[in-house]
Homo-oligomer: A and B are copies of this chain.
Amino acid sequence: MAEEFVAGSTNGVPMDAAAAKSPNSISTVIPGWFSEISPMWPGEAHSLKVEKILFQGKSDYQDVMVFQASDDSPNDVAETFLSISSTYGKVLVLDGVIQLTERDECAYQEMITHLPLCSILNPKKVLVIGGGDGGVLREVARHTSIEQIDICEIDKMVVDVSKEFFPNVAIGYEDHRVNLHIGDGVAFLKAVPEGTYDAVIVDSSDPIGPAEELFKKPFFETVARALRPGGVVCTQAESIWLHMHIIEDIVANCRHIFKGSVNYAWTTVPTYPSGVIGFMLCSTEGPHVDFKHPVNPIDANDKSKRPLKFYNSEIHTAAFCLPSFAKRVIDSKA
């Protein structure tokens, strides 16, 4: 199966040049391996060994692929050193970029959801933009105060593929409070009455591709309008190691638009480029939101059948502590 997508290095095309011409291509660097090459992180690539390709398709918006990562342990030495989950499991790839793996999706989904929702009391109405895999829905549903969970995902293929191949992620759709809308997030936001939501979570891909608009100022203005006073937004906001220029712009835009709190947080996700991902957390004018100190903890009484794997109140607060090189840039926008 793996041979189907072998290309590039074995036929003499330099992979970086190929990637530059076609950043959306599914590329491999070793026969039987998947490699993530993009102009967004030139000169580096993370590769996973492929056991089997489970799905390859082209939607109206992007290339969609699912593969099973190998769980081979190459020799006895390795056995001694591996952790319990020695495989990345199934992997979802959009336009050649890894979106989630079964091993580490918990970090991203739990943090992007609970950082905003644990920062406000009694959230009732939540909107998810993007997040078609359903993982954020799964996490939102842990909050018992919530009455309505709207999701607007542009690409139906992502929803369908997740339901077929990632049942532990797409389980989020099974909650009776969820309303799925397939369509453009910006248009959806513009159509909702002002002040509708307690929280908006923007679970987008990178700013090259269908998610481009979700990193621009007009989008943030639309989000602010849809939030109640003292409502919160959390958006995927790239890597401090790779994309400080993008982050600088997002922070500057958000400080202009959101008159409550504006904070940057980050966490570890091994299969994202540079191993980290950040979040922009903002609140609208109204009751004060102190993002760094959760007022609505969910981990203390976590008696669910699926306990939290990553998030807890300590790591919530820690996520807002930035390395000095990032702190200097972000604070300069204050």
Contacts and interface: CB of A to CB of B under 8 A. Distances in A.
A281 B43 CA distance: 35
Contacts of A43: 48-49, 69-72, 87-88
Contact of A245 (B30, B46, B82, B268): B82
Q: Which of A32, A78, A84 has the most CB of B within 10 A?
A: A78
Given A43-B72, A84-B244, A321 B315 contact: yes
B275 A83 contact: no
Interface string A309-324: 1111011011101111
Q: Which of A8, A44, A80 has the most CB of B within 10 A?
A: A44
Which bucket holds chain A's interface residue count? 35 or more
A243 interface: yes
A73 interface: yes
A33 B42 contact: no
Chain A at the B interface: SS class: loop
A77 B275 contact: no
Interface string A57-74: 000000000000111111
A290 interface: no
A18 to B, nearest CB: 10
B314 A321 contact: yes
B324 A40 contact: no
B268 A40 contact: no
Contacts of A208: 77, 81
A286 interface: no
A83 B245 contact: yes
5 contacts: A29-B33, A44-B47, A241-B268, A275-B276, A310-B324
